[in-house]
Structure formats: structure tokens, C-alpha cells
Amino acid sequence: MVNRPPPQQVRSASTAGAWFVDDKRFYQYSYASLKELEHVVQEVRSQWTKPLGASIKQAEAPPFLWELARKRDRLSDSVKVFSAMSVEAFLNFYGVVRLEQNYFDNHVEKLGPVPKLKRLFALCEGKALTDSEPIVIVLSRIAARRNRLVHPRTVEVASSAVSGIGDRIPEIAREAIADMDAFFVEFGRLDPDVQHHLPSPTDRSA
């Protein structure tokens, strides 16, 4: 275990100041990508040349359908990435507001999402978050979903088992949005003073 010095001060979440932060921009991107994804999924399904759920190889698909399916996949990945980025950006913002830039950057910023969350609440609120806390559970899912994208693994499968491999689209993207929203709800419940900084439904569009 690394021994870290305590912060010199812990500021209120309502501390006045100015910060450059991207959580609400990524929050908006998440919803915009999901909205576009829902339309593209319907278009792909209407053009699919096999029973829904069956895979199509690139050589079997008309070029326009292959490109449309790739757009669907890209939008689904965008939702997962931007929703995770919104959460991570907010965590970093909260840490800087409460602990000041220098301490946060040197002692907290490089932690993974879940350890960072636990560290922040221990330092700022004197709360020891356990793995059974709803916010920890939902953040663990967000982090795992993000890690599968940014640290891609290769999985060997039998050629006969290709169908059904991969994400359920758009369900996986809807789950990513739901987890993002649940995270912010739980965060506001644990620290009500930060409510005015949290993304809200009015932030879902430009």
C-alpha cells in the first residue's frame, strides 16, 4: 500500500471558482450518439439479408449494408466511450474542486475509476465505500465496458460459433447510458452539495 499524505485542506463541493471540464460535453455526445444509433439500427435491420441475429460476412453483404453495419457498430462504441468519459471527467472535476489541483494531480488522479471514487469519498466525506455500494457496482460496470474497448482482446472461436459473438446492439449502448445516469444519481445522493454540478436532462442536447 502506498502511503499518501493527507490533503492540506478539503474544500466544499459548492466552492466558487472556474474550471475547464468536459463531463457535460461527453454526456451530450453520449445521448446524441445513442439517438443516431437507434435510427441506424432500424435501417440495418430493414436491409439485413439474413434472419435477424444471423451474422453476415463482408463478402456476403452489399457494400452499402456493410458500411451501414459498421456505422452502427461505431455509434454503439461511441456511446460506451463517451458515457465512460463523462463519468471519468466528472470524477476528476470533483477531485480538483474538493482537494485542489496540485494535491489531486499528485496523489489521486492516476488511480483507476473505482479506487479513485473510494479515495475521493474517504478524503472528502469521510465515507468508506464498499464494493456492495450501488455507485461502486455501477462504476465497475462502466470501467469494465470501457476497458474492453481501449484494451481489446482477441478471442479464438470455432467458425460455426461466429453468430451471436459480439455486442447486443443497441441494448449494450442503452445499458451504458443507464449506467452513466445511475452513477450521477448515486453521486448526488452521496454528496448532495454537488448536485448543481451534475449533468441533468437539459444537458442531453446542445
- Compute how many other C-beta atoms are within 10 angstroms of the C-beta atom of residue 56: 15
Distance between CA atoms of residues 45 and 190, nearest Å = 42
pLDDT in tens, 62-99: 899 999 999 999 999 999 999 999 999 999 999 999 99
Under 8 Å between Cβ of 141 and 79: no
Distance between CA atoms of residues 206 and 200, nearest Å = 12
- Number of Cα atoms under 13 Å in the Cβ half of residue 61: 17
Set of cell numbers at residue 45: 435491420
Question: Burial level of 176, CB count in 10 A (0-12/13-18/19+)?
Answer: buried
Can you tell me whether residue 110 is helix, strand or coil?
coil
**What share of the chain has pLDDT > 70, as a percent?**
95
Set of cell numbers at residue 152: 481489446
Q: Count of residues for the chain?
A: 206
Distance between CA atoms of residues 120 and 129, nearest Å = 10
Query: Mean pLDDT score of the chain, rounded to an integer?
Result: 90
Under 8 Å between Cβ of 109 and 95: yes
- CA dihedral of 96, 101, 103, 105, whole degrees rounded to 10: 90
Top-confidence residue, 25 or 60: 25
Top-confidence residue, 206 or 59: 59
Under 8 Å between Cβ of 142 and 176: yes
Output the pLDDT for position 2: 55
Range 151-155 average pLDDT: 83
Distance between CA atoms of residues 179 and 168, nearest Å = 16
pLDDT in tens, 164-183: 567 899 999 999 999 999 99
Output the pLDDT for position 93: 97
pLDDT in tens, 109-127: 999 999 999 999 999 999 9
Output the pLDDT for position 14: 86
